[in-house]
Structure 1
Amino acid sequence: MAWPNVYRLDSRQLERRPAARPRPTIIIAHDAFHTPAHFEQLQQDLAAAGFRVVVPQLPSSGVAGQSATLEDDVQTLVLYGKAEIENGHNVVLVAHGYGSIPGAAAAERLNQHSLDRPRTGTVTRLILIAGVVSRVNESYYDSVEAAWAVARDGLVAIRNPSKIFYNDCSPETTATALTNMRPQSESSLWAKSTTPGWMNIPTFYVVCEADQAIAPSLQQGFVRTLQSVNGRVTVANMQAGHCPFLSRGREVAALVVRQVLENL
């Protein structure tokens, strides 16, 4: 074939090459007592790496969420997830602490939704950061020894949150994080899980070894629960407190990016 040389083209440039696979949207399900504001730096770092990142406010977190339930949180995540998968985008769901419970349930519903509609995306992966893995008919309180929680008038607050949540954060980061904290709906923490959505989705679990909110031994137990029914579980250990995206943000962002890109 001589004609490419007429136009000073290298024929090797005409070889068919596989198109780059589109990157999924990352949806973050925040922990109880937290808000999207706690994830601003992680969101920015992931966006800088080329990802669309969505961090919904879960209804159960905040004074106005006194009557909000676990189901309200699930439905919120499903709503945001549908907006992505119905436009053909796959989703990776990153969940922190309590957020793993509504996050896993939402992921299962979204994948069922995808089965019923051709050419939609799916939830391809769960990334759980100190995530709570509740079995069917178990609640957050059934799964976590939350002696640090104080309930009053349907809302739950935290004793000494700087020690429980932010023990390895700088004073400046801790001060901002405390300002962004919210009380949590008590009913959301007692609500029983109706579906273990983590059974059928590849899952990456980050164990936080200096966590004062959810003991590392509990997290390791959650990993064993995952591995007992899901053959696609990988684990990383971080020497970090409960919120490594605040104390070791760049490292968490790199972990997430690597997990996503290696599993496209």
Structure 2
Amino acid sequence: MSKPVFDRLIGELTKADYESFAPALPSSGSSPPTPDWSADVEIIRNIVSDLVKKERDVVVVMHSFSGMTGGTALDGLDKESRASKALKGGVVRLIYVVAFLVPEGFQHSPRGTRENMVPEMKTDLEAGIITVRPEDAKAMFYQDLDDSTVAELAKDLQPQSFASFWSTTTHAAWRHIPTTYILCTADVPTTVAAAQYLVDSAKASGPHKIDNLIKVDAGHNPFLSKPEWTASTLIEEASKTSGSMQLLLWQ
């Protein structure tokens, strides 16, 4: 099932003759909640693997939380690694949209705790879920959308697996695949500062392929508030490394 929040963006990409998909990830909305993020990593890896086996060039777009799972899932699926085995196809670019761009061995929160989580993330350890109340949705996610649109979007908010925040990254795909980072300056100020810190820290940590940082006056979800701009930017960035590609979107 695709993520409906990407519908506007997918529509714009389709109009430009680009094929794209936004599969849902199991850690969001599953009942019972997932015990970690391994199911997310598996679905990302399986879908990308199927595409590259068909000799497709793939661009992976990650938003927010999925920067951790996406960065972990792509080990060996980059174009260069596959070419070294005389295989065609591969992931040719990563695009992080205010997403977690983190190194190997990164854990958002120590197991069993809610450390590093903002107050709006309401945690229920017994139920194993994290929720955001509809009244907090605008300030946290939809800063540049009108109230009526936010009210509709808030109806579709899903609980997130608490334990998915306790998992640990095992791979940093941005070290091996050309990477663009989109920083939304109208997001929550602490999120903007954190995103800039992640990019700067990644570049200082050693080998990397982060080659573009784009700043846009948009809230946390530019694919909702600026779908035309987001589509054209994704296409421009993707076209730097491939003339024909499949775009995969994850949140």
Same fold? TM cut 0.5: yes
Query: Is the radius of gyration larger for structure 1 or structure 2?
Result: 1
Q: SS where residue 215 of structure 1 aligns? A: helix
Do the aligned residues in 2 keep the contact of 1:135 with 1:193 (CA within 8 Å)? yes
Query: What is the match of residue 70 of structure 1?
Result: 37
Instruction: Measure the CA separation in 2 of the matches of 1:43 and 1:133.
Output: 23
In structure 2, give the amino acid aligned to 1:150.
K
Instruction: Measure the CA separation in 2 of the matches of 1:261 and 1:125.
Output: 9
Go from structure 1 to structure 2 and tell me whether the alpha carbon gap of 1:214 and 1:101 turns closer, same or farther (over 3 Å shift).
farther
Query: What is the match of residue 124 of structure 1?
Result: 92
Query: What is the match of residue 58 of structure 1?
Result: 25
- How many angstroms does 1:157 deviate by? 0.6
Do the aligned residues in 2 keep the contact of 1:136 with 1:196 (CA within 8 Å)? yes
Stretches of structure 2 that go unaligned for 5 or more consecutive residues are 243-251
Do the aligned residues in 2 keep the contact of 1:173 with 1:246 (CA within 8 Å)? no
In structure 2, give the amino acid aligned to 1:157.
T
In structure 2, give the amino acid aligned to 1:163.
A
Kindly indicate which of the two structures has a greater share of residues assigned to helix.
Answer: 1
- Identical pairs, percent: 24
Listed as ranges, the matches of 1:107-146 within 5 Å are 107-111=74-78, 114=82, 118-141=86-109, 145-146=117-118
Q: SS where residue 204 of structure 1 aligns? A: strand
Deviates further, 124-133 or 101-110: 101-110
Which of 195, 214, 231 is equivalent to 1:236?
Answer: 214
Go from structure 1 to structure 2 and tell me whether the alpha carbon gap of 1:263 and 1:67 turns closer, same or farther (over 3 Å shift).
closer
Q: SS where residue 239 of structure 2 aligns? A: helix
Which of 251, 257, 263 is equivalent to 2:229?
Answer: 251
Instruction: Measure the CA separation in 2 of the matches of 1:81 and 1:65.
Output: 26
Query: What is the match of residue 4 of structure 1?
Result: none
TM-score normalised by structure 1 residue count: 0.80
Stretches of structure 1 that go unaligned for 5 or more consecutive residues are 1-34
Aligned length in residues:
230
In structure 1, give the amino acid aligned to 2:185.
E
- How many angstroms does 1:65 deviate by? 5.2
In structure 2, give the amino acid aligned to 1:218.
A
Which of 106, 120, 127 is equivalent to 1:148?
Answer: 120
- CA RMSD for the aligned pairs? 2.2
Do the aligned residues in 2 keep the contact of 1:98 with 1:140 (CA within 8 Å)? no
- How many angstroms does 1:134 deviate by? 2.4
TM-score normalised by structure 2 residue count: 0.84
Query: What is the match of residue 131 of structure 2?
Result: 157
RCO higher in 1 or 2 (8 Å CA, sep ≥ 6)? 2
Instruction: Measure the CA separation in 2 of the matches of 1:120 and 1:68.
Output: 35
Listed as ranges, the matches of 1:146-225 within 5 Å are 146-152=118-124, 153-159=127-133, 160-212=136-188, 215-225=191-201
- How many angstroms does 1:78 deviate by? 0.8
